[in-house]
Amino acid sequence: GLQIQSTELSGDGSPIESDSNRSWTLPVVTNVPWIGPFSLNASPLDGNLSNQTLYTEEWISGATRWDWRAESGDWRFLSIEWPEEWATGGTAIVDVDWEDNPYTDIDVMWLSETTHGYASEDSTPYGNSTFYIEERSVNNYAGSGSHNWGTFTGTSREVFTVPVTPGVHQLALHTALHGVNSSDIPLNISVGYIAAEKSGFEKVVSDWDQGSGVEAVHLVSTVPLSVEQVASYGWSQPIFLPNETAMDDGSNKMSASWWRNLTLNNSKSLSIEIDVASEESLSDDSDIDLYLFRDDDGDGDFSSGEEIAKSTSSDSSEKVELSDLPDGLYGIAVLGYDVPGGTMNFQITIEEFGGDDLRVTNQFSLTKLEIDSIWPNGSTALASEDPRAAVQVSLDFDRPESAGVWNGYVEIELSGSIKFQIPYVYELLELPPEVSFTRPENMSYHNTTVPIEIHAIDTGIGFKLDQVLWLPRDNLTVIPDANSVHVLDTQGNYHNLTTLWNHGNHSAIPENITLREIWINSSLPQIEQWHDYIVTITDHSGYSSQAFLSLSYDSTAPDVTISQIPEITANQVMTYRIWTEPGAVFTHSGNLVELDGEGSAEHSFILQAAEIGFNESTGLPYYFVEGTSIFEVKVSDAAGNSVSRDFQVIFDPEPPNDVEFESLYDQQLNSYSPDDLHTPINITSGNLALSLPSDTMLWCLSINSLVGDYSTTECESMNTRPEAFNSSTGHPEPDEEGGAQEQYMASLPLGTLGLPDGEYEILLDLVDWANNSASKSWPIFIDKTTPSIQWNLSMSNQQTLFEHRQNLSWTSSEPVTFEFSLNGNVLTNGISSSGGHSFEVPSTGVHEMCLYAVDMTLNRNNSNYAVECRTMTLDDSIYDTLILANWNGGVVSALEVVVTVQLGPGQEITLVREPSQETILISPDSNLETITLPLNEGDNRFTLLVGSLDNNDTYQLSVVRDTMPPDISIEEKTNRTSALSKVRVIEGVCESGTSTLVWSDVDSQSLVCPAYGKFSIELEILNAPGVHEINVISTDLANNEASAKITVSMQQWPEWAIDDAKNMGPMLIWFSIAGIAISASTLMAVRGLFRRQKSHDSPDYATEIETIMREIGLDD
């Protein structure tokens, strides 16, 4: 059992002690099955507690009070597993025995497994299988939980049989009635097994003549048998008609639209079942009914009163089952009671168990000694266990009426009227008939007439005479009359049908005579030809067989045919076949050779090899044959007539492999040895000179690529085979008789048209006149393509070089040995398919450049080479030089000067400073180079040597550096009235030769300082009173500059006059002595003048004059 506990838990999940805690044991009941047959007897109630349990199968309880259900009472269940080895087609015998009394009844049920009805919907709650009651006791349930008493044996013992299948079964026991004082009833339970030995209850018959007979069969059992009687029934076959049609017939059964009659004889039972043929033919409201009639009055018709059974449910599934039917004619009717569609399809199964062709003639039980003798190692029908009982049944049987599988039954009745059936299977085979020409031998030869015998037999249903056909296979063959025709019919009677056969009216034999066997005897017609016959037989079942016969009739003697003797062969063993008349004598070179009965033989012998030579005088090959290769074939008949033939066979066992490579000549007749062919050769066509065997019949010379699908083939065959000589004709070269095979020289054409360059194999295939073959091969490397080259120079076009420095780049269509030369001088060479080279052209002018390339045929007389030369010019103007130095010969003040040099590409400049001879080498990056020359104070001299490829151009440069500013100063040369003039006289001191510029706000003067270092100029100033600047700047040849400036005053006359008077100039005298009046007048005039001027741009001079007068004391 299972120990189960429940424990109360605290809030944190830990168990606690509590009155609510429980612990109990749950019983587990398991069912251990019995295996195969078994027996079980109840233990006694003897007070021994070990004999008692709470539940035991051999004790069943009773005296129950509740009796309102059919299941009232006690139950016991025994599980039984029936193994495969016990499933031998037998029957289980279930036997349950209890204390004898008329009040106790135990019902027994045998349950077998079946698929659960709801397993396909959900197998989880229902499982995959359940049990159904396959066999049981009679159900005597009387209602209200009560049962009537009754067993199959009529005693306190229940026995029945059930066919057993492998798997799990249940044996259920139920207390239907309890009639003893105790509460428990002891039971003795056994499940036995009885089966038939398979070898006895099945029969396969192929010869219908042996279809009836007698035999003894055995039944073996695991339990003792008390056999009352044995009966048998046979033969019957179930009838199944899958697609029958019923009409809408109405309710009158005699108007049924479907009828079938059958005759029953010794019928044990009959089962008829109908159902719809398919779901498509079913209508919800269709109804067909089933009726069975018996022709009681024997008039061959059925009336309504002759109905013996029917099945008329409300649907279309009907079934009728009857047992122990009397012999007679029965009719089955299917009535379309209600077929709304007018017609419906149905299927019908008719199974009859009966017949009197299988009969029991005797039966008896075997003794223990007999059982041990027959089954010393146990019975296979009982899983190799020893039988407890065995019964031998003697049977007498007749052959069924037609071929097929027939069923019979042997019914065993045990004590207590317990019956069970064992099936008997009878298979009657229908095999094709057999026919043959029993004599003479097929493909035989005859010079006299011989008997022809035909035999045919059909072990089955039989045949008619007109189903035997003897026919010619061609238009020349004639079927001879029969000497005799004898037959055996299926009833065992013999008939002589010779006359009927020869007259050709084969169908005139009575219909009730069916033949089993026939013998036809005739003779071979005396017509010299092949006679080809065919005989065909067809039985009543449609099976047929054929036989063939070909015979030769020949009376002409002696006719000899010899085959397979060639004129030349490579096989040392010579085999030929000879055909002649039977009984003839055949000799080979005087030696007797046995012929078979048909006058043929196959003879083998050893040939002697022929000598193969070449006649130098005639230039022709030949064979010399001798020994066993020359023979005579002779055939003689009994009368002494003979035919002989002489043969000569050339035996040549040697393949034509003695080939010598002499030379290969190309299209220019250059010669090559085999070693030369490993390296490329330039060949487009040529000839291969070889020494070939003198008996060469065919040569094929091919060139095959080793890497691609390229090839050429040239073949030639000799028109005439070498002549054969023997000792009779004499040797063509007596002095050279014997020796090895000879050779001759041959020149074979060799062409490479259509073949690309590459590695090839020259393959020579030779076949001699004996079909011996040999091959020779030589490698060859073909290179007939001139390499394609391309080359370019980096600084050029096709005719002109742009400079002397050049980069060569070149490519070739294949690897080559190359040279590149300049004016005949090789600059670079090597082996490659592309490359480059840098070089310099040494001088200007015209040059020749050449690229020469030769492929791998370098050392051949006709090598493949390419050469391309170009005449190119390097113009000397490219290297013209030019100096740009505008300071040359001058004076500068800068720290350095720049000289720009134009020169040719790749040229250099050498700078030399004089007189120190300091030298600097300059490599320009371009054709225009700028050079900076640092200067010293004073004289600087340089020499430039500029390269012009072939020589140098020399340039002399000089410059004076002067950084001292020149002397410069100016002053105004004035007089008393200079302040009133806008033109001033400026005098200056300067450095001789300098450029001098003097300027005011409104005027400027430029001049070159004279050699004496002074200058004087007139310069206008702004005509406005005030102070004005006059500037001067002097620049020497070195661009050194010096400047100076002065200021000059510009006055109007009144201002000047006042200043002159103040300075005691002449204006003071004029004002003080002689000119007061005049002055006054003048003043007035002046005022008027000034007034006019005032209106323009003059100051108020009137006021100023007045001021002057006051200042000089003349205002009073």
CATH value at residue 768: 2.60.40.2150
Tokens of 659: 């080939």
Per-residue pLDDT tens digits for 373-386: 999 999 999 999 99
Which residues, 6 or more positions from 227, have their beta carbon under 8 angstroms from its beta carbon?
363, 365, 391, 412, 413, 414, 415
DSSP H/E element including 220: strand 213-221
736 with 599, same domain: the answer is no
DSSP H/E element including 1101: helix 1101-1111
Which one, of 1013, 1016, 965, lies nearest residue 990 by Cα?
A: 1013
Q: What is the pLDDT of residue 101?
A: 84
Q: What are phi and psi of 1061, to 5 degrees?
A: -65, -45
Per-residue pLDDT tens digits for 664-700: 999 999 999 999 999 999 999 999 999 999 999 999 9
Taking residues 429-441, what's their average pLDDT?
A: 95
Q: Is there a contact between 433 and 458 (Cβ–Cβ < 8 Å)?
A: yes
Q: Is 368 helix (H, G, I), strand (E, B) or coil?
A: helix
Cα(809)–Cα(714) distance, rounded to whole angstroms?
A: 45
Q: Is 978 helix (H, G, I), strand (E, B) or coil?
A: helix
Does the pLDDT of residue 1116 top 80, yes or no? Answer: no
The pLDDT confidence band at residue 1091, using thresholds 50, 70 and 90, is very low
Cα(124)–Cα(1075) distance, rounded to whole angstroms?
A: 163
Q: Is there a contact between 442 and 457 (Cβ–Cβ < 8 Å)?
A: no
Cα(1109)–Cα(1113) distance, rounded to whole angstroms?
A: 6
- Most distant CA pair in the chain: distance in Å? 217
Structural domains counted in the chain? 8
Which CATH number belongs to the domain containing residue 612 in this structure?
Answer: 2.60.40
Cα(864)–Cα(857) distance, rounded to whole angstroms?
A: 6
Tokens of 288: 């067909």
Q: Which residue has the higher pLDDT, 558 or 238?
A: 238
58 with 181, same domain: the answer is yes
Cα(263)–Cα(327) distance, rounded to whole angstroms?
A: 7
1063 with 985, same domain: the answer is no
69 with 164, same domain: the answer is yes
Q: Is 227 helix (H, G, I), strand (E, B) or coil?
A: strand
Q: Of 611, 634, 651, which residue sits at a domain end? A: 651
Asked whether residue 158 is assigned to any structural domain, the reply reads yes
Tokens of 94: 């279930």
Q: Is 647 helix (H, G, I), strand (E, B) or coil?
A: strand
Q: What is the pLDDT of residue 1086?
A: 41
Q: Whole-model pTM?
A: 0.48
Which residues, 6 or more positions from 705, have their beta carbon under 8 angstroms from its beta carbon?
711, 755, 756, 758, 759, 760
Asked whether residue 982 is assigned to any structural domain, the reply reads yes
Q: Whats the size of the chain, residue-wise?
A: 1116
Cα(160)–Cα(92) distance, rounded to whole angstroms?
A: 8
The pLDDT confidence band at residue 200, using thresholds 50, 70 and 90, is low
- As a whole-number percent, the residues of the chain with pLDDT over 70 amount to 93
Does the pLDDT of residue 170 top 70, yes or no? Answer: yes
Tokens 């002689």 locate to 1074
Q: Is there a contact between 991 and 1036 (Cβ–Cβ < 8 Å)?
A: yes
Taking residues 242-261, what's their average pLDDT?
A: 93
The pLDDT confidence band at residue 6, using thresholds 50, 70 and 90, is confident
Asked whether residue 284 is assigned to any structural domain, the reply reads no
Distances (CA, A) of 553 to 442, 550, 744: 13, 10, 55
Q: What is the pLDDT of residue 1073?
A: 52
Q: Is 774 helix (H, G, I), strand (E, B) or coil?
A: strand
Q: What is the pLDDT of residue 1092?
A: 44
Taking residues 196-215, what's their average pLDDT?
A: 87
Q: What is the pLDDT of residue 65?
A: 54
39 with 188, same domain: the answer is yes
- Looking at the DSSP bridge assignments, the partners of residue 447 are none
Tokens of 1115: 């205002």
Cα(310)–Cα(787) distance, rounded to whole angstroms?
A: 110
Which one, of 217, 164, 166, lies nearest residue 426 by Cα?
A: 217
Q: Is there a contact between 1027 and 1048 (Cβ–Cβ < 8 Å)?
A: yes
Q: Is there a contact between 705 and 758 (Cβ–Cβ < 8 Å)?
A: yes
127 CB burial (10 A radius; 0-12, 13-18, 19+): exposed
Cα(823)–Cα(202) distance, rounded to whole angstroms?
A: 117
The answer to whether the Cα torsion of 435, 438, 444, 450 is positive or negative is negative
Taking residues 418-438, what's their average pLDDT?
A: 91
Q: What are phi and psi of 188, to 5 degrees?
A: -105, 115
Per-residue pLDDT tens digits for 357-412: 999 999 999 999 999 999 999 999 999 999 999 999 999 999 998 999 999 989 99
Q: Tell me 599's DSSP state.
A: S
Distances (CA, A) of 998 to 588, 910, 967, 973, 975: 156, 46, 14, 15, 21
Which one, of 888, 923, 925, 890, lies nearest residue 908 by Cα?
A: 923
Domain span at 187: 28-193
**Termini Cα distance of the chain:** 171
Cα(612)–Cα(932) distance, rounded to whole angstroms?
A: 103
Which CATH number belongs to the domain containing residue 1043 in this structure?
Answer: 2.60.40.10
Asked whether residue 415 is assigned to any structural domain, the reply reads no
Tokens 């424990």 locate to 7
Q: Of 553, 583, 614, which residue sits at a domain end? A: 553
Does the pLDDT of residue 17 top 80, yes or no? Answer: yes
- Across the chain, mean pLDDT equals 88
Cα(263)–Cα(836) distance, rounded to whole angstroms?
A: 116
Q: What is the pLDDT of residue 447?
A: 73
Cα(267)–Cα(799) distance, rounded to whole angstroms?
A: 127
Per-residue pLDDT tens digits for 627-647: 999 999 999 865 466 788 899
Distances (CA, A) of 61 to 50, 76, 256, 899: 18, 9, 57, 145
Taking residues 33-45, what's their average pLDDT?
A: 87
Q: Tell me the residue type at 933.
A: L
Which one, of 180, 186, 160, 182, lies nearest residue 171 by Cα?
A: 160
Q: What is the pLDDT of residue 21?
A: 82
Which CATH number belongs to the domain containing residue 187 in this structure?
Answer: 2.60.120.380
Does the pLDDT of residue 147 top 90, yes or no? Answer: no
Which residues, 6 or more positions from 1092, have their beta carbon under 8 angstroms from its beta carbon?
none
Tokens 């054409």 locate to 749
1061 with 1047, same domain: the answer is no
Per-residue pLDDT tens digits for 308-345: 999 998 888 899 999 888 999 999 999 999 998 889 99
Q: Is there a contact between 961 and 937 (Cβ–Cβ < 8 Å)?
A: yes
Q: Is 324 helix (H, G, I), strand (E, B) or coil?
A: coil
472 with 535, same domain: the answer is yes
Cα(696)–Cα(767) distance, rounded to whole angstroms?
A: 6
Q: Is there a contact between 869 and 830 (Cβ–Cβ < 8 Å)?
A: no
The pLDDT confidence band at residue 793, using thresholds 50, 70 and 90, is very high
DSSP 718-749: -SSPPEEE-TTT--SSGGG-S-SPPEEEEEEE
DSSP H/E element including 1087: helix 1076-1094
The pLDDT confidence band at residue 1060, using thresholds 50, 70 and 90, is confident
Cα(687)–Cα(979) distance, rounded to whole angstroms?
A: 129
Taking residues 526-540, what's their average pLDDT?
A: 93
158 with 73, same domain: the answer is yes
Tokens of 1108: 């002057």
The pLDDT confidence band at residue 1104, using thresholds 50, 70 and 90, is low
- As a whole-number percent, the residues of the chain with pLDDT over 90 amount to 58
Torsion angle, alpha carbons of 928, 932, 933, 938, to 10: 120
1070 with 1035, same domain: the answer is no
- How distant is the alpha carbon of residue 1011 from its chain centre? 113
Taking residues 135-157, what's their average pLDDT?
A: 87
Residue 563, Cβ neighbours under 10 Å: how many?
A: 9
Q: Of 782, 810, 825, which residue sits at a domain end? A: 782
Cα(136)–Cα(158) distance, rounded to whole angstroms?
A: 10
Taking residues 575-596, what's their average pLDDT?
A: 90
565 with 698, same domain: the answer is no
Asked whether residue 332 is assigned to any structural domain, the reply reads no
Taking residues 605-634, what's their average pLDDT?
A: 92
36 with 183, same domain: the answer is yes
- Looking at the DSSP bridge assignments, the partners of residue 520 are 454, 485
921 with 982, same domain: the answer is no
Does the pLDDT of residue 1096 top 50, yes or no? Answer: no
Cα(588)–Cα(635) distance, rounded to whole angstroms?
A: 9
Does the pLDDT of residue 1097 top 80, yes or no? Answer: no
Which one, of 299, 354, 291, lies nearest residue 329 by Cα?
A: 299
DSSP 676-702: GGGS-B--SEEEEEEEEETTEEEEEEE
DSSP 1018-1062: EEE--SSSEEEEEEEEEE-TT--EEEEEEEEEE--HHHHHHHHHH
